[in-house]
């Protein structure tokens, strides 16, 4: 049974968030963008109800949908189909019998006879920038990147990971989201911190002036 704290965490982290359907038995939902309208308890779990009336168990929300964050662009319907397509039914090939008769290939019921295979749409990767210091002797250096990202509460995120049907897919989606936020500005700040430490620290305020204390002496 879902606890009240778990339900509140789901409501705080999912309500109003935008998602895109990637796995569903309803063809009209494939690639569709939806927003979470409400989170309601259902049996031993809870369901996320979207603005179009569709719904999903909260434990499956990151398996059947992807969350759209910040500047992250949603996938096209063709991209969703090419990446998250369901497994095609196996077709038993034709065979030659002992009498020389050739059997026809057996196609499972419901399988398309001439499937329309869509080529996945791939975006060209960013070109690799040549190392401008390749002529010098270099050692591997560890660089820390400071990155502020919007993600659910760590406890909720861990619970989502543990409940995910496909944990590798969950990690892959989270990694791609974090990677999409790493830009030249983030790397630039890391380089400045290494090369110009004084620039990254706030300068000390100069004293306004030396204070002179006067002490009154009473002469008797």
Q: Structural domain boundaries of the chain?
A: 4-88+128-199
Model confidence, pTM: 0.47
How many Cβ atoms are within 10 Å of 61's Cβ, its own excluded? 24
Q: Mean pLDDT throughout 163-185?
A: 82
pLDDT at 69: 80
Q: Mean pLDDT throughout 159-171?
A: 81
Q: Assess whether pLDDT exceeds 80 at residue 108.
A: no
Out of 51-55, 103-107, 114-118, 215-219, the most confident range is 51-55
Q: Mean pLDDT throughout 182-208?
A: 70
How many Cβ atoms are within 10 Å of 54's Cβ, its own excluded? 16
Helix axes of 4-14 and 154-163: crossing angle, nearest 10 degrees:
100
SS3 161: helix
Interior/surface letters 132-170, b for 16+ CB within 10 angstroms, e for the rest: eeeeeeeeeeeeeeeeeeeebeeebbebbeebbeeeebb
What does the block give as tokens for 100?
A: 């020389």
Pairwise CA distance, residues 36 & 51, whole Å: 6
Q: Assess whether pLDDT exceeds 80 at residue 91.
A: no
Contact 56, 47 (CB under 8 A): yes
**Residue range 24-46, pLDDT digits in tens:** 889 899 999 999 999 998 888 89
Residue of 91 and 144 predicted with greater confidence: 144
Out of 10-19, 69-78, 123-132, the most confident range is 10-19
Residue of 105 and 116 predicted with greater confidence: 105
Contact 71, 180 (CB under 8 A): yes
SS3 42: strand
Q: Assess whether pLDDT exceeds 60 at residue 195.
A: yes
Going by pLDDT thresholds of 50, 70 and 90, the confidence category of residue 119 is: very low
Q: Mean pLDDT throughout 39-56?
A: 91
SS3 174: helix
pLDDT at 198: 66
Percent over 70 (pLDDT), the chain = 65
Q: Which helix (H) or strand (E) holds 178?
A: helix 167-180
Contact 118, 81 (CB under 8 A): yes
Q: Assess whether pLDDT exceeds 60 at residue 123.
A: no
């Amino acid at each position: 049974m879902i606890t009240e704290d778990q339900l509140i965490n789901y409501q705080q982290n999912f309500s109003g968030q935008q998602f895109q359907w990637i796995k569903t038995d309803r063809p009209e939902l494939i690639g569709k963008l939806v927003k979470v309208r409400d989170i309601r308890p259902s049996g031993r779990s809870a369901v996320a109800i979207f603005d179009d009336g569709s719904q999903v168990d909260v434990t499956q929300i990151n398996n059947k949908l992807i969350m759209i964050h910040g500047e992250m662009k949603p996938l096209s319907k063709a991209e969703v189909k090419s990446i998250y397509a369901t497994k095609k039914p196996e077709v038993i090939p034709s065979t030659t019998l002992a009498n020389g008769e050739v059997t026809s290939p057996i196609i499972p019921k419901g399988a398309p006879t001439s499937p329309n295979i869509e080529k996945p749409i791939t975006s060209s990767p960013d070109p690799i920038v040549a190392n401008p210091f390749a002529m010098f002797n270099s050692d591997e250096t560890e660089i820390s990147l400071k990155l502020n990202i919007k993600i659910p509460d760590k406890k909720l995120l861990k619970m989502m990971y543990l409940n995910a049907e496909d944990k590798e897919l969950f990690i892959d989606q989270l990694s791609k989201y974090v990677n999409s936020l790493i830009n030249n500005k983030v790397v630039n700040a890391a380089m400045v911190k290494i090369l110009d430490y004084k620039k990254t620290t706030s300068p000390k305020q100069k004293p306004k002036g030396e204070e002179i204390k006067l002490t009154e002496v009473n002469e008797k």
